[in-house]
Amino acid sequence: MTTQPLPVRPVTIDEIRVARERIRNTILRTPLVRLRYADTGPAVYLKLENLQPINAFKLRGAANAVAMLSPADRARGVWTISAGNAGQGVAYAAREAGIPCTVVVIETAPETKVERMRALGARLVKAPFDACWQAMEAREFPGVEGVFVHPFDDHNFIAGNASIGLEIVEDLPDVKCVIAAIGGGGLITGIGYALRAVKPGVRVLGAEPETAAPGALSFEKNSPQQFTAWSASFVDGAGGKSIFPRMWERLKDVVDGSVVVTLEETRQAMRLVAEKLRVIAEGAGALAVAAATSGRAGEGPIVAVVSGGNIDLAKFAELTRICPKA
């Protein structure tokens, strides 16, 4: 059964503050720490969302969305579509609420994320990337029933994500720029709504990999675009094939642009965070760090949102290893 989406409207500061209180006992207020990475360059701080109970920011939005379901909807159970982090968020929130959860999993999702979703009690249905991307727009998938919790195009999900923006401003009042990865756009949009409400002078930038950058193209063309040169990479938690028109309607008013980084810059950012802070960032989680330290995001203080840390340790070691000189 298709779930018709509600009309797009801005998330208000009152909704963000209420969402923050609603999820307070589920999520962690993550630390904001200085990244000392070079003698020159802007001051960069990291918002460590990879330290959430599911090691990703998605728990904020999922916890708020699931908590707002009616008793009748809870009885039907929930489902979502994910490469891993949104699936974990919805599965975690559903388990806390005592309701069944199904995740339609992109078949290229890392096994680490798949196992984590399974451990949280989710029923998993694997499907190709294109089928999942189409299902996110159609809001239905063959054989899957229940209430659909969209992993990014959901008002309540975005309101939960927006709590990150409030925490950033409280911890770093003089912040000049906040950068977060763009996948579907739910993270950066939520942060944008919060910052426009409480500190409108702060620049809000997305970060995308060179292999999947529809956001940057959409800002260039001033309309939602498809990224025809899309290719899969280790940055599995961000970078879609397109910006959904509904998400562009939100993004265009609260986000100032997107910085495109190379896969090598992303890999080096993963290593930098591990070396300096002893913290693991997955590919998507390192995009904002790569953008912030590249010098292409302007003056600091800059906050880079480390959106997740769910990556197989062997893969992390492979990506961050520097071969000794011959």
Domains belonging to the chain, first-starting first, are: 13-57+156-320 (3.40.50.1100), 59-152 (3.40.50.1100)
Q: At what angle do helices 313-320 and 263-277 cross, to 10 degrees?
A: 110
Is the distance from CB of 261 to CB of 209 less than 8 angstroms?
yes
Greater model confidence, 83 or 143: 143
- Once rounded to an integer, what is the mean pLDDT over residues 261-267? 97
Q: Which residues contact 318 (CB under 8 A, 6 or more apart)?
A: none
What is the per-residue pLDDT for 112? 87
pLDDT tier, 84 (very low <50, low <70, confident <90, very high otherwise): confident
What is the per-residue pLDDT for 4? 78
Distance of alpha carbon 276 from alpha carbon 225, whole angstroms: 37
- Once rounded to an integer, what is the mean pLDDT over residues 272-292? 97
Distance of alpha carbon 108 from alpha carbon 287, whole angstroms: 19
pLDDT value at 2 more than 70? no
In the chain, pLDDT over 70 holds for what percent of residues? 98
pLDDT value at 237 more than 90? no
- Once rounded to an integer, what is the mean pLDDT over residues 226-246? 92
- Once rounded to an integer, what is the mean pLDDT over residues 220-226? 97
pLDDT tier, 326 (very low <50, low <70, confident <90, very high otherwise): very low
Question: For the segment 293-320, what is each residue's pLDDT rounded down to a tens digit?
Answer: 999 999 999 999 999 999 999 999 999 9
- Once rounded to an integer, what is the mean pLDDT over residues 234-260? 94
Question: For the segment 148-197, what is each residue's pLDDT rounded down to a tens digit?
Answer: 999 999 999 999 999 999 999 999 999 999 999 999 999 999 999 999 99
Question: For the segment 19-65, what is each residue's pLDDT rounded down to a tens digit?
Answer: 999 999 999 999 999 999 988 889 999 999 999 999 999 999 999 99
User: HEC string of the chain?
Assistant: CCCCCCCCCCCCHHHHHHHHHHCCCCCCCCCEEEECCCCCCCCEEEEEHHHCCCCECHHHHHHHHHHCCCHHHHHHCEEEEECCHHHHHHHHHHHHHCCCEEEEEECCCCHHHHHHHHHCCCEEEEECHHHHHHHHHHCCCCCCCCEECCCCCCHHHHHHHCHHHHHHHHHCCCCCEEEEECCCCHHHHHHHHHHHHHCCCCEEEEEEECCCCHHHHHHHHCCCCECCCCCCCCCCCCCCCECCHHHHHHHHHHCCEEEEECHHHHHHHHHHHHHHHCCCCCHHHHHHHHHHHCCCCCCCCEEEEECECCCCHHHHHHHHCCCCCC
pLDDT value at 204 more than 70? yes
Overall pTM > 0.75 = yes
Is the distance from CB of 270 to CB of 320 less than 8 angstroms?
yes
What is the per-residue pLDDT for 1? 52
